[in-house]
């Protein structure tokens, strides 16, 4: 890993994005390496939440890249925090989003790295190392997709304006029976009104897919954290979509659970209303 030189005390969005990309690629290399290792799973919380060697090792590599370039910045990661105790810049790191997929050998997982300041997310990168796809955005400069072949194209959300044709991704991580039943009611409602729903198992990569126009929408209730949605929320905004809390406010990028509804913008209000009606029927 090539060391990243320290940035100035007032780094530009482009400089921060370069660090995010370097960190995401370093983490992605660990994910590829880890597929050849025996999967040793350690339970974190409920039965649907666990950690592997790759989660911990990827985060260590990512923290090393960020720490070398931005030693004063705070870092919040899924597997623990680091960096400066107080900073106007806070990094949001998911070293392996899609752990259940990854542990089963399903290559739908990614690394997500973002940095926010007092005004919101400045830059973010989502790297899917198995196909070599890198999704990037910096505030005010659009969203981009780079492939392993070197092609770099500007990302744009889909142009679908019909909820009946919308393809929606979602998910749930919970052992609570009522939450499972409520999620089931939402799935039924989606299949009755949309082209269908998909439980793909990686919120960050689903957000990248919405930004790239592959999905029309993604939502999760009380199942994501800032590290899941930091980079993706910027990607979607820069790609022309909408990313909000399920109550219509900003997505929570601080401590605690986050709700998220991310869409191409054209089907946003209808999907928000559909989920609200379904939850109210409980």
Report the CATH superfamily, name and number, of domain 13-154.
Fructose-1,6-Bisphosphatase, subunit A, domain 1 (3.30.540.10)
Report the predicted TM-score, pTM, of the whole model to 2 decimal places: 0.93
167-170 and 74-77 beta bridge pairing: unpaired
Domain 163-280 CATH (choose: 3.90.79.10, 3.40.190.80, 3.20.20.60, 3.40.50.300): 3.40.190.80
- Would you state the pLDDT for residue 47? 47
Percent of residues, the chain, with pLDDT higher than 90: 74
Exposure on the CB side of residue 274, measured as CA atoms within 13 A:
23
* Distance separating alpha carbons of residues 76 and 94, to the nearest angstrom: 9
pLDDT at 282 (0 to 100): 47
Task: Please write the tens of the pLDDT for every residue from 14-66.
Answer: 999 999 999 999 999 999 999 887 766 666 555 456 788 999 999 999 999 99
Pure H helices in 42-176:
53-69, 99-103
Token readout for 278 is 């379904």
Q: Which residues of 236-256 are buried (b: 16+ CB within 10 A; e: fewer)?
A: bbbbbbbbbebeeeebbbeee
- For 143-166, what is each residue's pLDDT tens digit? 999 988 878 899 999 999 999 999
- Domain ranges within the chain, ordered by starting residue: 13-154, 163-280
Task: Please answer whether residues 29 and 61 qualify as being in contact, where contact means their C-beta atoms are separated by less than 8 angstroms.
Answer: yes
Query: Model confidence at 175, in pLDDT bands (50, 70, 90)?
Result: confident
pLDDT exceeds cutoff 60 at 178: yes
What is the pLDDT averaged over residues 55-84? Answer: 90
């Amino acid at each position: 890993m090539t060391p990243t030189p320290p940035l100035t005390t007032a780094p530009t969005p482009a400089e921060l994005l370069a660090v995010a990309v370097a960190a995401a690629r370093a983490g992605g290399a660990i994910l590829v390496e880890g597929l050849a290792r025996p999967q040793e799973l350690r339970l974190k919380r409920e039965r649907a939440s666990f950690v592997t060697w790759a989660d911990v090792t990827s985060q260590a590599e990512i923290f090393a890249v960020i720490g070398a370039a931005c030693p004063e910045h705070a870092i919040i990661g899924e597997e623990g925090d680091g960096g400066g105790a107080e900073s106007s810049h806070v990094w949001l790191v998911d070293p392996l989003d899609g752990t259940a997929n990854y542990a089963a050998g399903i290559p739908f997982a990614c690394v997500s790295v973002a940095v926010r300041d007092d005004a919101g997310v400045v830059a973010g990168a989502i790297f899917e190392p198995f196909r070599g796809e890198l999704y990037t955005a910096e505030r005010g400069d659009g969203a981009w997709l780079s492939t392993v072949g070197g092609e770099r194209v500007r990302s744009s959300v889909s142009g679908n304006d019909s909820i009946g044709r919308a393809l929606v991704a979602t998910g749930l991580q919970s052992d609570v029976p009522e939450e499972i039943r409520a999620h089931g009611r939402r799935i039924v409602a989606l299949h009755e009104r949309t082209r269908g729903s998909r439980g793909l198992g990686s919120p960050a990569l689903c957000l990248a897919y919405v930004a790239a126009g592959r999905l029309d929408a993604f939502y999760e209730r009380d199942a994501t954290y800032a590290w899941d949605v930091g980079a993706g929320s910027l990607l979607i905004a820069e790609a022309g979509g909408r990313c909000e809390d399920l109550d219509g406010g900003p997505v929570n990028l601080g401590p605690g659970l986050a709700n998220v509804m991310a869409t191409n913008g054209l089907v946003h209000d209808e999907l928000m209303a559909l989920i609200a009606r379904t939850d109210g029927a409980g």
